[in-house]
């Protein structure tokens, strides 16, 4: 996820309302042109259990990616025989160091999604949930504050986790009550 900058993120709360009280308050936010640091959040997600792992990094480099793969390998239970990592076609994911890492870790298999098919990766809708839990409606003064907020949101998610369902859930509509066009009851 990223690059994420330390700035104000829009929310739904009124930040600046009319001091006279004549106008109706609505969600307004002052412009925030400050750039107080930025970075990337790397994440791993298991849709069957809903468990997630995130780690902040200053850049999206090959060394950071290999370091994150080491974190994920330690996070996944040792009794799991196959780990399928669904990745996009970023050049960092296909670097020589990453291929050498995969040779040392034979239980891992990298599955690259087709170009322009981000919807096939289940972590993409989860990033939206994480952004709303960690960033929405808040102002950050530093990259460390963003990393702390993302860590707290991931901890919250993992304590309340559930299997992640792909796509929209079907909502059952309650039958509408008949109104004016109701036929008169025969007596």
CATH code of the domain containing 71: 3.30.420.10
Higher pLDDT pick, 80 / 121:
80
User: Given a cut of 70, is residue 72 above it in pLDDT?
Assistant: yes
User: Are 29 and 109 contacting, i.e. CB atoms less than 8 angstroms apart?
Assistant: no
Domain count, the chain: 1
Look at residue 174 and tell me if it is in a domain: no
Higher pLDDT pick, 166 / 155:
155
pLDDT band for position 171 (cuts 50, 70, 90): low
Look at residue 89 and tell me if it is in a domain: yes
Residues 6+ apart with CB under 8 A from 72: 44, 53, 85
Average pLDDT for residues 92-121, to the nearest whole number? 90
Look at residue 96 and tell me if it is in a domain: yes
Look at residue 35 and tell me if it is in a domain: yes
pLDDT for position 156 = 95
Look at residue 64 and tell me if it is in a domain: yes
Q: Is the peptide bond before 3 cis (omega within 30 degrees of 0)?
A: yes
């Amino acid at each position: 996820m990223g690059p994420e900058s330390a700035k104000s993120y829009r929310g739904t709360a009124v930040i600046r309302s009319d001091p006279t009280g004549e106008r109706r308050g609505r969600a307004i936010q002052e412009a925030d042109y400050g750039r107080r640091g930025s970075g990337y959040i790397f994440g791993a997600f298991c849709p069957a259990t809903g468990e997630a792992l995130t780690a902040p990094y200053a850049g999206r480099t090959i060394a950071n990616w290999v370091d994150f793969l080491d974190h994920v390998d330690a996070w996944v239970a040792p009794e799991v025989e196959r780990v399928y990592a669904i990745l996009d076609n970023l050049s960092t994911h296909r670097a020589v160091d990453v291929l050498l890492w995969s040779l040392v870790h034979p239980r891992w298999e990298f599955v690259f999604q087709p170009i322009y098919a981000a919807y096939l990766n289940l972590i993409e809708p989860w990033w939206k949930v994480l952004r709303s839990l960690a960033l929405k409606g808040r102002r950050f003064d530093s990259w460390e504050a963003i990393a702390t907020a993302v860590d707290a949101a991931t901890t919250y998610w993992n304590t309340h986790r559930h299997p992640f369902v792909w796509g929209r859930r079907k909502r059952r509509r309650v039958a509408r009550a008949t109104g004016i066009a109701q036929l008169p009851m025969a007596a």
